[in-house]
Amino acid sequence: MFRFPNTRSEIVLASGSVSRAALLTGAGVAFDRDPADIDEAAVRAALAADEPAPDPADVAEILARAKAETVSARRPDAHVIGADQIMTLDGEIFEKPPDMDAARETLLRLNGRTHQLHAGVCVARDGETLWSHTDTAVLTMRELSPEAVGQYLAAAGDAVLTSVGAYQLESLGVHLFSKIEGDYFTILGLPLLALLAFLRAEEALAP
């Protein structure tokens, strides 16, 4: 049976991200999942120690490359996709909240303010990067009362812990924002249009 797009080579997603897998699945791309399982915290700490510290978009790209190249070393014939996303507020890099208390603190800090999401994506083959791309989206959160933040977290549940900003724009989190500038796929952590264009150019997907 013909599949659109017609996948012409083995494609591997070097990530355990549910949202990134859903984006590729929705686009009709046949792929395997093989999470890189790198120590992201250690990589970020090493980069933060550099003088001057790298741009957050560069951090996202470096992590995306590390993931793709790690998996590509054990899947050399595949086109391996690595991706990462960095959230910043006033230059500070945020981590995913470990629990609901931390999620509440994150949302209260973002409340009424503008932050950035930097997404990096990379494709590797034979253990080496073939292509990489970064993109940034800018999001402004509405003014919310502490009670409204609590109501949102109660409604959204533990799913918010999978998001660095403790929100999921594709779900209830859309109600938290007054303004969004940038690509929707970048916000979800995978600049999909640029990625698909490269895979077509590489003839990993049908044109």
Residues annotated catalytic, as ranges: 84
Spatial contact of 140 and 177, defined as CB atoms under 8 Å apart: yes
Coil/strand/helix, residue 184: helix
Which residues lie closer than 8 Å to 150 by C-beta, 6 or more apart? 104
Picking from 111, 91, 123, the residue whose alpha carbon sits closest to that of residue 165 is 111
Coil/strand/helix, residue 196: helix
The tokens 């014939």 sit on which residue? 77
> 146-156 and 100-110 are packed helices; what angle lies between their axes, rounded to 10 degrees?
130
- Each as own residue / partner, the long-range contacts of residues 198-204 (CB below 8 Å, 24 or more positions apart, any chain) are 198/123, 198/130, 198/131, 198/133, 199/11, 199/29, 199/79, 199/123, 200/5, 202/79, 202/123, 202/130, 202/131, 203/8, 203/9, 204/7, 204/8, 204/9, 204/11, 204/79
